Amino acid sequence: MTSPDFLIVGAGIFGLSTAYELSKQSYKVAVLNPGTIPHPHAASTDISKVIRFDYGSDIEYMEMALRSMELWHDWNDLFKEPIYHENGYMLLSKNEISLEGTSYESICYKNIVDRSFEHEFLNEEDLKSSFPAFEKSIYRNAVYNPMGGFAESGKSLKLIADKLRSLGVEIIENQEVDKILYESNKAIGVSTTSSDSFHADHIIICAGNSSPYLLPELQPFIKVTGHPIFHIKASRPHLFNFHEFPTFAADIARTGWYGFPFHPKEKVVKLALHSDGLELNPLTDERKVYASDLQQLEEFIQESLPCLKNDPVVFTKRCCYTDTLDGHFWIDRHPEIENLSIGTGGSGHGFKMGPVVGEMIASIALGEKHAWSDRYAWRNLGEDTVQEEEARYKRGD
């Protein structure tokens, strides 16, 4: 092939959305990915990811998520079938949610009210009548809003890749990059484990949790952590009916638990944990779910969703976050190497932001500014750095 303007390493949501932005601006783009798309080890795979704008006191993330939701709607229009399902999002709390409160849920509630977004405030009785799947005595309040829901994540990668091909982007599967090729302080291409090499005017690394291995200078700022997900074959699917039952967070900042309605195609209920997870090496780890994870699931179901307690768990997986130490994305040009950009650091909440992150990575690679990108520039993080995403449960908090 003739060299493209941009060669993107990694066809997860960050790489593909960047390719989409660049191809819209008529640049010649190629994307490399090991295996086929979606790759089973990509963080962006699986049947669903939460789309929410609730980021507590982090108003900039809220703005970014709202913009991303608009772009998800635009992407829905690009495909024959929707991949973003706006079935609403519900924050449940074991404690009182109030406009004066300081909890994550209370601050999210205040943001919703301040912006006059449509919502419903629920107490225990309302929860019992509207969402009988939840154990009634556990959650004191909930806030439901009809914006937000979930995207069919793995499927969206496939549809976006197909769309990109139709726009002339070269999507090259079964190519795993092993090295970035440099000439003095300039990146000129990459080599792959099949002994091929690919060249381009500009290289963009969007390799998710492999990014710190391709660029070891990122390793002090990024760790990879594994998080369990569970698919459950619900025996009473009507209690989780996708048209009535929202995507939800179950006291998430203090438990980590969140979940989805009965998946319209996969016919399962998915539950997962947004917590600090287990630090691991993604190149060697088996990404297994352990008996202790299943035990935690059992306890959560027993306490919160007892209608699932006898239902079989039909699929489990440990999926990897590319965690920056502060929980923010990592989007910048390399500080010392010309023609090399990086877009990574999803930190367990990046999927929903995919369309906006693609805009940011494309702008940065083009040498332009983006309204939100300063915060994600190459930065020094260390032992004292605190992970700042407010929805995430940290053991010991």
* Residue 44 binding ligand FAD, by CB under 6 A: yes
Q: Among the candidate windows 130-138, 294-302, 318-326, 359-367, which touches ligand FAD by CB under 6 A?
A: 318-326
Question: Minimum distance from CB of 329 to ligand FAD (Å)?
Answer: 8
Nearest-10 Cα torsion for 232, 233, 235, 240: 60
Question: Minimum distance from CB of 228 to ligand FAD (Å)?
Answer: 7
* Residue 13 binding ligand FAD, by CB under 6 A: yes
CB contact burial 49-58 (16+ within 10 A = b; e otherwise): bbbbbbbbeb
**What is the rounded distance in angstroms from the CA atom of residue 84 to the CA atom of residue 392?**
23
Judged by CB under 6 A, the chain residues 218 through 237 that form the site for ligand FAD are: 227, 229
Closer by beta carbon to ligand FAD, 238 or else 375: 375
Instruction: Select from 7, 188, 250, 319 the one that contacts ligand FAD (CB under 6 A).
Output: 319
Q: Among the candidate windows 20-28, 29-37, 126-134, 380-388, which touches ligand FAD by CB under 6 A?
A: 29-37
Instruction: Specify which residues 31 forms β-bridges with.
Output: 8, 171
**What is the rounded distance in angstroms from the CA atom of residue 263 to the CA atom of residue 247?**
11
Backbone angles phi, psi at 75, to 5 degrees: -65, -40
* Residue 49 binding ligand FAD, by CB under 6 A: yes
According to DSSP, residue 103 is labeled: S
Q: Among the candidate windows 158-166, 181-189, 195-203, 347-355, which touches ligand FAD by CB under 6 A?
A: 347-355
The CB density around residue 152, as the number of other CB atoms within 10 Å, is 22
Structure tokens at 111: 């943001």
DSSP helix/strand/coil, 22? helix
**Cis amide bond preceding 34, omega within 30:** no
Give the number of residues in contact with ligand FAD, rule: CB under 6 A.
38
Question: Minimum distance from CB of 154 to ligand FAD (Å)?
Answer: 10
> Residues interacting with ligand FAD, by CB under 6 A?
9-15, 32-34, 39, 41-44, 49-50, 176-177, 206-210, 214, 227, 229, 272, 319-321, 344, 346, 348-352
